[in-house]
A and B are shown apart, each in its own frame.
Chain A
């Protein structure tokens, strides 16, 4: 068989790229911001503690370093969060689920329902305060091939999981 032959048949196949990806919720940006802000604070406090204990308390130069590093970190992360958020999105089709992500390096990963091992809803403390959750979909293909869709409303997450579970069950019966 050659490629051209296949192409004719393939043209009629359902296309993954023609689909509309559903964006994730805007609050996800806030979640990322808060958790990175916490990390920047830890950096800041750590830096100040080092200053205090190393006796460099009155060195302006070191104070500058201790202040700029966390702030710069936070600003860079903010930029990345904003840029990568735009592209994140998911599609649920009749027989598979796809998620796209990335900013500089973008990728679309698709997992057929009949290859899903199990799925779970994860909700961290920050996500909880925004009523968001992420859904983790496991396959047997190792950690690289697994799907994680963040920034879903908890109700949405549960809906998707319900849907996935019925699909998995249907496949098991077949």
Chain B
């Protein structure tokens, strides 16, 4: 069935452009580590010349250049019949061979410079096998696609002899665009980001600044400012509202810029076996989603998003590091399309039609008791001891907020399941819907604290290769029922979870 020939039989170096990239990476890394020395050296000598700085900068440049050159010339890759081989190492040479079977996907990335030279950077993703991720910094786009095809075809060949699955060969796969975001939709998405967090970050930053100022100028200045501001309550309020408006503006601007640069010209296309996303203004990035590898399908919507009718979809795939690497984001997905995309992921499975089950009401008080109430009371005691009365209302507000947060969490938490799937809705401000297939669960945990033991409640945790889902505070009987059900589902299933 071999339709394409091995494009890289002999050990090959990366494209020369990779040198630029590698050297700049080394430069950045060294500067990041050595910046305190740079600041120390930022002192002119008696003749007013920055000799120390020049020497250090020259040294860094030289080292980066040397390291980059060695790295470049010692990095070689080639393909054998069923392995991708990479030889590398600055001091010690090592050869890594990755069987095609273990390669989950090959993702490509292209930044502005690379686009000029028609070059791509490729990342070979081997889910679950730690230490064997490989990145080839720069190779010709043409070669990259040949390499991709060869790997995928031969992977299939290996598989077919093994378990005779009749799957569509990679070359016959046709891609169909199912979602394309234009600038207008991206702007909408940017506007719908969570700006509350950004405002908090800015607030914390400003507070820290005030701290710095007081340290620099002594408390006298701050006292004066305090006096001034205390005398004029109105100007205080004005300053706060200006700050809030400013915070919102900055936050909106920043998220607009990040969303547009990251997801510019976002395209989601679909084939029989999976989907792929392409996006980016300066750096074009292509990510692959395979239906088989998908562990958790998640979509979220905050109040603003709901109003605009767009959802943020995230697909967690099996990965060596379940937290970040395997997750692929589909931003600004129109609500009518979420269901459609979701159904593609769980084709042939019984869908979850309703979410009838809730967690226990006890959750609210218990979590508050151990969280906001405990923390707040401790803080209040400290404040009373220090006689810092003005902080007390703030602590009170925090405790109230924490209580409301848990109450809302309880209010919105729902779960439901079918023969094949489990869906959980959680969150208190931004609602998060997560769907897992029973047979993809790796292990189950039933956990209980003292109070839960007395009152016969339990937390239930399901672990998958792409993160975990938790059902907190349900009756012990139900938790055990679900645990037994899941174990039965997993143990009776012959399907591969990946």
Contacts and interface: CB of A to CB of B under 8 A. Distances in A.
A150 B21 CA distance: 48
A95 B468 contact: no
Interface string B476-498: 00101101110110110110011
Nearest to B476: A17
Contacts of A96: 487, 491
Interface in B303-321: 318
Contact of B445 (A10, A15, A108, A174): A108
Interface stretch (B372-380, B427-435, B448-456): B448-456
Interface residues of chain B: helix, strand, loop or mixed (majority): mixed
A53 B350 CA distance: 71
Given A13-B485, A96-B491, A110-B487, A141 B464 contact: yes
A174 B494 contact: yes
Interface in A67-120: 95-96, 102, 104-115, 117
A10 B485 CA distance: 6
B465 interface: yes
Contact of B449 (A1, A3, A104, A115): A104
Interface string A48-61: 00000000000000
Given A140-B318, A144-B463, A7 B481 contact: yes
Contacts of A174: 494
Given A140-B318, A142-B322, A115 B442 contact: yes
B413 to A, nearest CB: 16
B418 interface: yes
Nearest to B464: A141
Given A1-B418, A2-B356, A16-B480, A106 B487 contact: no
A117 B496 CA distance: 13
A1 B419 contact: yes
Interface residues of A, number: 36
Given A109-B443, A117-B128, A145-B443, A3 B357 contact: yes
A6 interface: yes
Contacts of A112: 443, 487, 490-491
B67 interface: no
B484 A145 contact: no
B191 interface: no
Nearest to B321: A142
A147 interface: yes
Contacts of A14: 484, 487-488
Contacts of A123: none
B444 interface: yes
Given A141-B442, A141-B443, A144-B463, A13 B448 contact: no
Nearest to A145: B463
Interface in B461-476: 461, 463-465, 467-468
Interface in B343-376: 350, 356-357
B274 to A, nearest CB: 19
A136 interface: no
B407 interface: no
A17 B465 CA distance: 25
B446 interface: yes
A106 B445 CA distance: 10
A80 to B, nearest CB: 15
Q: Find the residue from B322, B419, B444, B447 having the highest chain A CB count within 10 A.
A: B444
A99 to B, nearest CB: 10
Given A17-B480, A112-B491, A115-B442, A6 B485 contact: yes
B444 A109 contact: yes
Interface in B233-280: none
Contacts of B484: 10, 13-16
B468 A145 contact: yes
A139 interface: yes
Contact of B468 (A1, A2, A111, A144): A144
A17 B418 CA distance: 23
Interface in B72-100: none
A139 B442 contact: yes
B490 A114 contact: yes
A16 B483 contact: yes
B491 A111 contact: no
Contacts of B497: 115, 140
A13 B488 contact: yes
Contact of A108 (B446, B450, B498): B446
Q: Find the residue from A107, A108, A139, A140 having the highest chain B CB count within 10 A.
A: A140
A139 B440 CA distance: 12
A3 B356 CA distance: 9
B181 to A, nearest CB: 32
B443 A107 contact: no
Given A106-B453, A108-B445, 6 more contacts: A1-B419, A13-B485, A96-B487, A102-B447, A104-B449, A144-B463
Closest 5 CB pairs of A and B: A141-B442, A145-B463, A141-B463, A107-B447, A140-B465
Interface of A: 1-3, 6-7, 10, 13-17, 95-96, 102, 104-115, 117, 139-142, 144-147, 174
20 contacts: A3-B356, A3-B478, A13-B488, A14-B488, A15-B484, A17-B483, A95-B487, A104-B449, A105-B448, A105-B449, A107-B445, A107-B446, A110-B444, A110-B487, A112-B491, A142-B322, A144-B461, A144-B463, A145-B443, A145-B468
